Structure 1
């Protein structure tokens, strides 16, 4: 592995961990702004407030896991969960820009998935993620994916600012 590959991998791990640990803290403190997201799937406020700390703990565990011992299963969970929670914004009546602006939440784990060998067995999904070898690691592809994530996130910020 090159030094660049190792640095990119660690920056993504730290970024994904910080995102999920931070959002997990919101779950633990039961953020009122999350109630519409639970309501969308038929969960009322009383149960939602009881579930929020559990969701928060799951996010914190995912964040710590990707930092300490990333597995393909956890990385995939982070990508899918991050995309779902971003999609909840427009599904509950918020501007689409709210989803776009959260590209870093799901984009970083998706890029991490590009950097690992795709698991073929259940055991491999739960084993430590194996980064692709030098000859199959395409630096340009990863750089393009990261630029796309960044451009999407910044576009979301701009759309929110323009919409007032």
Structure 2
């Protein structure tokens, strides 16, 4: 049962990071305000978004095939940070709340892996 749960969580993280990574690689214009909030120009923001997209896709594939704990921790921190940027940049708190599963799923995966490692 735990193996199936682990796979569901791995697939969940993969889908979130792969989907967002592809959006970033194609320069999702709706994300520009978040990068501009930190002072990046449009040109730099698109280049940064491309780099973020590459990282997201690497994280997605890595977690799907071999979920190393440091990469899972990165997924938690990155997903939480990108959810928090919404209210920080002036959007309603609901935009953060609706993205809760983006960071809670990798957190659950981390806790499961930690427990699994402890029991071995």
TM-score w.r.t. length of structure 1: 0.70
1:111 aligned partner = 108
Task: List, as ranges, runs of 4+ consecutive aligned residues in structure 1 with deviation greater than 6 Å.
Answer: none
1:88 corresponds to 2:85: yes
Query: Could you tell me which of 73, 76, 81 is aligned with 1:79?
Result: 76
3-state secondary structure, aligned to 2:114: coil
More helix by share: 2
Whole-angstrom distance in 2 between the partners of 1:131 and 1:44: 44
Bigger relative contact order, structure 1 or 2 (CA pairs below 8 A, ≥6 apart) = 2
User: Structure 1: where are the runs of 5+ without partners?
Assistant: 119-129, 135-164
Structure with higher Rg: it is 1
Whole-angstrom distance in 1 between the partners of 2:73 and 2:33: 25
TM-score w.r.t. length of structure 2: 0.94
Query: Does the CA contact (< 8 Å) of 1:82 and 1:105 recur in 2?
Result: yes
1:46 corresponds to 2:43: yes
Whole-angstrom distance in 2 between the partners of 1:38 and 1:29: 15
Query: Does the CA contact (< 8 Å) of 1:115 and 1:132 recur in 2?
Result: no
User: Structure 2: where are the runs of 5+ without partners?
Assistant: none
**Partner deviation per Cα, 1:92-125 (whole Å, 9 max, x = no partner):** 111100100001110001111211238xxxxxxx
